[in-house]
A = this chain, B = another copy of it.
C-alpha cells in the first residue's frame, strides 16, 4: 500500500483524486492546493485530508509518493522537494517549459535516486498499447512509416495559448513521445509546417493551430504527426504504423455503435465530442503503472528522461516552425 499526496486540485487534479481513491494499492492521504477550498472539496469527496502546508506534503514519514498535478511553473520545484525528501513522484508534463531548466531538475532528481515518472498517459490508452504490442511482437515487420493524428475539437482560450509554450510543446509533445515509444528510436531531425487557421490571433504569440511534422529516425523510418487545435467533428486521435510486412492502426474511436441507413447513407455515431471522453481511462492506467513500479522496485514505465527527450523534439520542432527549415534534435543541450 502506497501513501499518496496530491498536489493540485484543479480539473486534472480532481481526475487524479478519483483514481487515487479507487486504486486498491493506494492510500490517498493528503491534498494540497494554494486554493484551500478546492483542496477541501476533493479531500471530502474521497476521505483524504487537506495539507495545510507544502512541508506537510513532503514528509516521508507520512507520504510515500506525490502526484504533481499543480500548475506547470511549480512542477520542477515540487520534483526537487520530493527528491530531497526521498519521496517518489508522478508528475504531469512538462517538467519545465524551459528545457535547460528541465535538464537541471532531472539531473538533481536522478542524483537523489527516487522513482519518478512523467504522466505521458497516452501510452496507456488500451488501443495504443495493443498497437505497440503488435509491433513489438513483429506482427508488421520493421517499422518504416508512422502517422499520428492529434486533433482537439476546440482551440484553448487565448490566455492559455499565450503561456502554453506553443502547439509543439503543449500538444504535439505527447505524440513526439508516442513516436519514440512506438519506433523504439529517437528522431534525429524534425521539420514542421504550420498555419493559424482556426484563430489567426495566435500568430501574435508566434503560434500555430494546424501543423504537420516530419521526423526522421536513425533507421530511415519516417514519422508524420498532424496536430490540430480545432476540428469541426470532435476529438480525433489515432496512430498508424506501416512496417515491412504489414500495417497496424489504433483507429479513431467512435462514441458509440449505432448506425442508421436511409437516404443513400449509413449514418453512424461520430467521434467523442471532447478529448477527455477518449483519454479518461488512461490516467488510472498510468497511475497503476507507477504504483506497480513502486511496489516491485522496478523502473517506472515512463521516465523523466522520456519527458526530456520529447521536450527536446518539441524544442527542435518549434525552431523549425520559425525557421521554415528542418532542425536537428539536440538531446544533450550542448548544441545551443
> A residues touching B (Cβ–Cβ < 8 Å)?
126-127, 130-131, 134, 139-142, 144-145, 147, 151, 189, 191, 193-198, 210-212, 214, 216, 220-222, 224, 226, 228, 231-234, 236, 242-271, 273, 324-326
Q: List 26 A-B contacts (CB under 8 A).
A: A127-B257, A134-B260, A141-B232, A144-B197, A144-B228, A195-B220, A197-B221, A210-B220, A222-B226, A228-B242, A232-B244, A232-B246, A232-B262, A247-B261, A247-B262, A248-B259, A248-B261, A249-B260, A249-B261, A250-B257, A250-B258, A265-B268, A266-B268, A266-B270, A266-B271, A267-B267
A242 B251 Cβ-Cβ under 8 A: no
Please name all residues of chain B whose beta carbon is closer than 8 Å to the beta carbon of A251 when the two chains form the complex.
257-259
Given known contacts A244-B198, A245-B262, A246-B262, A145 and B228 CB-to-CB distance under 8 angstroms:
yes
- Given known contacts A232-B244, A246-B263, A258-B130, A212 and B193 CB-to-CB distance under 8 angstroms: no
Partner of A258, one of B131, B220, B226, B268: B131
Chain B residues near A265: list those with CB within 8 A: 267-270
Per assembly, the copies of the chain total 4
Among A194, A251, A266, find the residue whose CB has the most chain B CB atoms closer than 10 A.
Answer: A266
**Docked pose: A248 CA to B131 CA in angstroms:** 25
A325 to chain B, nearest CB (A): 6
On chain B, the residues within 8 Å of A244 by CB distance are 197-198, 232
Chain B residues in 8 Å Cβ range of A140: 232, 260, 262
Bound complex: CA of A245 vs CA of B262, how far in Å?
7
Among B212, B250, B262, B263, the residue within 8 A (CB) of A214 is B212
Contacts of A249 in B (CB 8 A): 258-261
B263 touching A130, Cβ below 8 Å: no
Q: Are A264 and B258 neighbours in the complex by a CB distance under 8 Å?
A: no
Q: Which 5 A-B pairs have the closest CB atoms?
A: A246-B262, A232-B245, A195-B220, A233-B261, A247-B261
Task: Point out the residues of chain B lying under 8 angstroms from A212, CB to CB.
Answer: 145, 214, 222, 224
Q: A211-B222, A233-B246 are in contact. List 7 more A-B contacts (CB 8 A).
A: A130-B269, A134-B260, A197-B220, A212-B222, A212-B224, A248-B261, A261-B271
Asked if A247 and B268 make an inter-chain contact with CB atoms under 8 angstroms apart, the answer reads no
The answer on a CB contact under 8 Å between A270 and B259 is no
The residues of B that contact A147 with a CB separation of less than 8 Å are 147, 226
Complex CA distance for A286 and B164, rounded to whole angstroms: 42
Contact between A264 and B273, CB atoms less than 8 A apart = yes
Residues of B within 8 A of A269 (CB): 130, 264-266
Residues in B whose Cβ lies below 8 Å from that of A267? 265-268
Contacts of A142 in B (CB 8 A): 197
In the complex, A222→B139 CA distance in Å? 32
- Minimum Cβ distance to chain B for residue A328 (Å): 11
